[in-house]
Structure 1
């Protein structure tokens, strides 16, 4: 969740008064870091994943499932039994936005050897088992991206009513403040986003039109004029940060050997973000309704959109400095490497004074405009004790802005005076139901970075086309029905790894466009004469590596899952959930998810996650049925 400072949080008006101070000193802190480590080379490849979890409680008698607001207590115990007792503990635990959420990572980063791939799933299993052991009877730890009835009456345990009147953090009609993590950062973020924006956040998700769904589908909010104006026909309306940041995701961070390698990886992976997002689609339901989207990205983007009406272009600029085209949670706006410069075709809003300052300090144009773009944003949280800092040895002001620009990729300078190198974070993936699936997506992305670096692959296309891909990726069944812009020749040098594909294509199609519309099946699995496919390239890479039998078997199993999801032979989690609800005996084809339907779905998800039942349409025969006691709820109930 980014920077977690401790102290006395300031109101938005107080924070606003210090905004220029934070930006000015944030840039000084960045410059100290940059000049200290810009020439640092030969950092070893390290990487790690982040998995976010929800705590749920099953009421088997009444057939209800609710989110348990005990995340802080569970987290405290996990940290006390883990890292505080043993610095080498295999797992680390951190808070997340929802008080029903926790985040788990490996205790130490994974290294550069191929055998590390065979430890990812085992570590995820440890995390699930460790946290589950602390839960009460009939409670479970779930890796679901969005809780289908989030924001419906009584969705939390204990139950709290929303507080839409002034004084609450979110003023939501649906999401109680008690469901927000008690760390002051989270409620302050929620309140200050609303105050800066000048109104509540507005989230409108298209509803899925089933046979008996009202047309037009219209919700009325007579008690709330703001909601009545903001809600749209045929859309599910939501009004709080919790509807976005209260979802779960799966992320991977890589340490590169140098700043130039980090910038190269940042650019190449940015083009992969929409592809992997569509492949990992897992969130089709919102506020008790079936939606017409499969991914959470646009929901989170709207949930933290702090732009004023002026910044959104709805009113003339008067009190603000810029028109800003996107929320601060969105896709990247510029490539960082020299090879990406010619594909930077998005108008970039920057702080010109900061840009000039960075140039004068020896920062190149591409990195300077990247940072100057991030710093058009205001800080959203500030703690009284953290206003005046030692810029040479601290980076809180830089991270204040950096960590609240939530983009598909994040370029991460080393912390001051640390042995950590330049890193990039891959952020678009939706969390999956099982440790096997989550491991598969992590291994796929990490393995792809090895191939990109080893063979100097080039996936770059105009950044505006990546933005178009992001829009397509969120649509229902995008993995099967969507067409995505993708580079045709990724091996300009004619790399023998793909049987001369790059060389042949370059010589015969050099006059044609560098990119074309492709299906995800083509991008992942390849199509003769069109594209070699990422999985065949990864398989070719594996054949040339020394890999022990167990690790090779694990990797191939993971790649098989990705391959079959891309081809449609296996369902995405989103498609599987849709089918489950559509076939539920209580479903009336009206796009409504009742308490009992939600209970049945989450119970089934929990059984699948703990390997207590099979799900071949989701996992296929590649799924290894290794039983372990990982749930406190009786699956036979």
Structure 2
């Protein structure tokens, strides 16, 4: 989760005093990095994935599952057995927000050869087995995006009660501070977001109205001092802590580009896929013990770290704050970075004009300058006493302080100072899947997509306002089947296409596009699998690319298995994780069709998830029947 410094954390009032210092030196650090590596070329493709895991206790006697708050101990054990004795160990382990979470990555980045695709699932399997080997008998490792009863009484092991009225970090009615990772960065972020905002964060998720769900659905909160009553909306599931968002798990991929211009091109192109792939990977329909009417975590996590004041949210006139800020610091991107993307930058961009001028005067081009000047409208949220005065030539902590707490769908990552790492982009919207096979499929799909975009010089850009609209659609229940998404009709325009572009006839496509417009509304099935006379389809493009590459038989079989999963999820032949979980709960004999997930329903769901993830049980409706798959 970004930068993890050690030291003495400052409270919000102290941090606020140093905010201008952090911004000033953050810009100097960025300029120093940029000037050293702006002309760097020919870095090879390297890439890697990040999988987040939850530690779960299966209480078979009482038929309950709880989140185990020993992530720190598990992490230290894994690091002691792995990277600390062998710098070439095949896995790396890092902390995450929840004290019940850990993050695993490959020990070394993958390279540019096709055979690397055949090792992804194997490495994910190593991670799962490695972590499982240090757990206690009744504990397991789970890759689910949101724990269905997160925030319900007794959801942690050991059990702790929330402390809404006492001195604490989150003051949540539901989420105890002990469930937050013990590294001071995480508690400091939590406290400072609340203090900066001037109140607790507010998360309202629409409840799924089943036949016995009360209407209106309204909760009473016994320990509420009035804040929850004011904030909670009828017919919504109310949550009040950073942990409800940052305590979810996701799947991310980072790519090293060969140059800054290639990184900017990839950043823009992949931004248009964020909503599409998010809907395809939808895996989080349950929150705080209720069935919601959304399938993805994005809006929840966005609200969970929204530190904007009432003035910045436009609820009061600007008096104490400098900017009206339109989005949370965890949201979709606000501007394209490549020259191709400039004409599609159609959403209002709030920037720090002084920083923008400083960057332009230093020789940074308009698009990159406004991107950085937009990130730097934010305040630092976590600052350590020992990290205030730094060597701007050789350190980048102040730049990273703001860079790493702007959590957007895509992240553009300059090289660290004095390193052999190149310009990178990070693809961030995916929900984590139940099995290593599924997670590998999504990762390989995205990496292959980058190869096709670069090889065929494709252009998927549409106005950024339409990407934002797609983000809203993508989170809705069953968006993968029911949602319509703005997508570019002709991705070969202005390129030298290797493929034959389809005709632009509008057969059977719901369209708001007028003649001559470059984009129209398409289903995910059309985008992924293609539709004659409408759109070529991403899978046919990837298949064409593979046919022109030298690929060994094993690797080709592996890739085709992965693409088959993506293809069938898009067509509806296979369910998303979110739909599968909904159907499991709906069919459960003890579910009362009242939108409530009881301990018993949750236990049976997680137990089944665990068996499927371990390969002890097949799940053809979710995964299909892949052939020749390695364990």
Kindly indicate whether the alpha-carbon contact (under 8 Å) linking 1:492 and 1:502 is maintained by their aligned counterparts in 2. no
* Matching of residue 443 in structure 1 with residue 444 in structure 2: yes
- 1:501 Cα deviation (Å)? 3.0
Using the TM superposition, name which of 435-444 and 166-175 deviates more.
Answer: 166-175
Matches within 5 A, 1:177-576: 177-224=177-224, 225-493=226-494, 495-501=496-502, 511-576=515-580
Kindly indicate whether the alpha-carbon contact (under 8 Å) linking 1:194 and 1:306 is maintained by their aligned counterparts in 2. yes
CA distance in 2, matches of 1:187, 1:624: 46
Among candidates 604, 613, 621, match of residue 617 of structure 1: 621
- 1:202 Cα deviation (Å)? 0.2
1:9 alignment counterpart = 9
* Matching of residue 156 in structure 1 with residue 160 in structure 2: no
Equivalent position SS for 1:501: coil
TM-score (structure 1 length as normaliser): 0.97
CA distance in 1, matches of 2:231, 2:50: 34
Kindly indicate whether the alpha-carbon contact (under 8 Å) linking 2:55 and 2:68 is maintained by their aligned counterparts in 1. yes
* Matching of residue 169 in structure 1 with residue 169 in structure 2: yes
Which blocks of at least 5 consecutive residues in structure 1 are unaligned?
628-637
Kindly indicate whether the alpha-carbon contact (under 8 Å) linking 2:213 and 2:593 is maintained by their aligned counterparts in 1. yes
CA distance in 1, matches of 2:70, 2:4: 19
RMSD: 1.3
Kindly indicate whether the alpha-carbon contact (under 8 Å) linking 1:68 and 1:100 is maintained by their aligned counterparts in 2. yes
CA distance in 2, matches of 1:195, 1:207: 29
- 1:512 Cα deviation (Å)? 1.6
- 1:499 Cα deviation (Å)? 1.8
- 1:165 Cα deviation (Å)? 1.8
CA distance in 2, matches of 1:401, 1:442: 27
Check 1:623–1:385 CA distance in 2 against 1; reply closer, same or farther (3 A cut). Answer: farther
TM-score (structure 2 length as normaliser): 0.98
Kindly indicate whether the alpha-carbon contact (under 8 Å) linking 2:504 and 2:534 is maintained by their aligned counterparts in 1. no
CA distance in 2, matches of 1:187, 1:60: 32
CA distance in 2, matches of 1:58, 1:65: 5
CA distance in 2, matches of 1:625, 1:152: 38
- 1:500 Cα deviation (Å)? 3.7
CA distance in 2, matches of 1:384, 1:256: 35
- 1:222 Cα deviation (Å)? 4.8
- 1:221 Cα deviation (Å)? 2.3
CA distance in 2, matches of 1:300, 1:338: 31
CA distance in 2, matches of 1:623, 1:395: 47
Q: Deviations over 1:164-199 (max 9, x none)?
A: 124210000000000000000000000000000000
2:36 alignment counterpart = 36
Q: Deviations over 1:20-52 (max 9, x none)?
A: 000000000000000000000000000000000
CA distance in 2, matches of 1:510, 1:262: 32
Kindly indicate whether the alpha-carbon contact (under 8 Å) linking 1:493 and 1:502 is maintained by their aligned counterparts in 2. no
CA distance in 1, matches of 2:261, 2:514: 28
Kindly indicate whether the alpha-carbon contact (under 8 Å) linking 2:456 and 2:495 is maintained by their aligned counterparts in 1. no
Equivalent position SS for 2:119: helix
Using the TM superposition, name which of 114-123 and 157-166 deviates more.
Answer: 157-166
CA distance in 2, matches of 1:575, 1:603: 17
2:510 alignment counterpart = none
Q: Deviations over 1:517-547 (max 9, x none)?
A: 0000000000011100000000000000000
Kindly indicate whether the alpha-carbon contact (under 8 Å) linking 1:495 and 1:503 is maintained by their aligned counterparts in 2. no
1:578 alignment counterpart = 582
2:62 alignment counterpart = 62
Kindly indicate whether the alpha-carbon contact (under 8 Å) linking 1:458 and 1:490 is maintained by their aligned counterparts in 2. yes
CA distance in 2, matches of 1:551, 1:148: 36
Among candidates 597, 602, 608, match of residue 598 of structure 1: 602
CA distance in 1, matches of 2:365, 2:622: 47
Kindly indicate whether the alpha-carbon contact (under 8 Å) linking 1:611 and 1:626 is maintained by their aligned counterparts in 2. no
Kindly indicate whether the alpha-carbon contact (under 8 Å) linking 2:501 and 2:536 is maintained by their aligned counterparts in 1. no
Kindly indicate whether the alpha-carbon contact (under 8 Å) linking 1:57 and 1:66 is maintained by their aligned counterparts in 2. yes
- 1:502 Cα deviation (Å)? 7.5
2:509 alignment counterpart = none
- 1:621 Cα deviation (Å)? 1.2
Kindly indicate whether the alpha-carbon contact (under 8 Å) linking 2:275 and 2:474 is maintained by their aligned counterparts in 1. yes
- 1:482 Cα deviation (Å)? 0.1
Matches within 5 A, 1:128-139: 128-139=128-139
Equivalent position SS for 1:582: helix
- 1:496 Cα deviation (Å)? 4.7
Which blocks of at least 5 consecutive residues in structure 2 are unaligned?
507-512
Using the TM superposition, name which of 614-623 and 241-250 deviates more.
Answer: 614-623
CA distance in 2, matches of 1:447, 1:542: 9
1:26 alignment counterpart = 26
CA distance in 2, matches of 1:8, 1:581: 46
Kindly indicate whether the alpha-carbon contact (under 8 Å) linking 1:525 and 1:536 is maintained by their aligned counterparts in 2. yes
Q: How many residues are aligned here?
A: 624
Kindly indicate whether the alpha-carbon contact (under 8 Å) linking 1:330 and 1:406 is maintained by their aligned counterparts in 2. yes
- 1:498 Cα deviation (Å)? 2.6
Equivalent position SS for 1:428: coil
